[in-house]
Amino acid sequence: MKKILTFLFVGLIAFFTTLNAQETAEPKVHKVVIQVSTDDMRTQKIALNNAVNLQKLYGLDNVEIEIVAFGPGITLLTDKSRQVKRVESLALQDISFSACLNSIEKLESVSGSKVELLEGVGTVRAGVARIIELQEDGYSYIRP
């Protein structure tokens, strides 16, 4: 009888310790990088929708999202974009935007005019390299 009570007591301690650990564990933070490398407006809109949907699903505090634009996709992050207000709004909602400087320099040399990035958009030397770095840091990769 004493062995049975000891066994039950140890079992209850283990159960409540596990339960307490589960309750106090931090929620998993998901990390996502979304590639935008096309000037197709539909695809650019899908990329933004993906980011918003992930934030709604996981919650602002449980997901880190970075949208990396390069090549023709750089247009999403300029003052010529049809998504100006949306990009600027999402940048205020903890979605990071990175524009490829290589692509900007190429666009400027072809067009002969300065590329104006939207408020809240950062730059990286190479968009492709940024995606590699984020994946090495555990980010999931999405390309709409």
Residue 2 located in a structural domain: no
Per-residue confidence (pLDDT) for residue 4, from 0 to 100: 53
Total structural domains within the chain: 1
Residue 17 located in a structural domain: no
Question: With 60 as the cut, is the pLDDT of residue 3 above it?
Answer: no
Per-residue confidence (pLDDT) for residue 9, from 0 to 100: 47
Residue 5 located in a structural domain: no
pLDDT digits 0-9 by tens, 90-142: 999 999 999 999 999 999 999 999 999 999 999 999 999 999 999 999 999 99
Domain that holds residue 45: 27-142
CATH number at residue 78: 3.40.1260.10
Banded pLDDT at 26 (limits 50, 70, 90): confident
- Structural tokens at position 41: 């407006």
Question: With 80 as the cut, is the pLDDT of residue 16 above it?
Answer: no
Residue 4 located in a structural domain: no
pLDDT digits 0-9 by tens, 32-74: 999 999 999 999 999 999 999 999 999 999 999 999 999 999 9
Residue in 121, 115, 95, 118 with CA at minimum distance from that of residue 103:
115
Per-residue confidence (pLDDT) for residue 91, from 0 to 100: 97
Residue in 13, 139, 1 with CA at minimum distance from that of residue 65:
139
Residue pair 143/51 in contact (Cβ under 8 Å)? The answer is no
Per-residue confidence (pLDDT) for residue 23, from 0 to 100: 52
3-state class of 76 per DSSP?
A: helix
Residue 63 located in a structural domain: yes
Residue 7 located in a structural domain: no
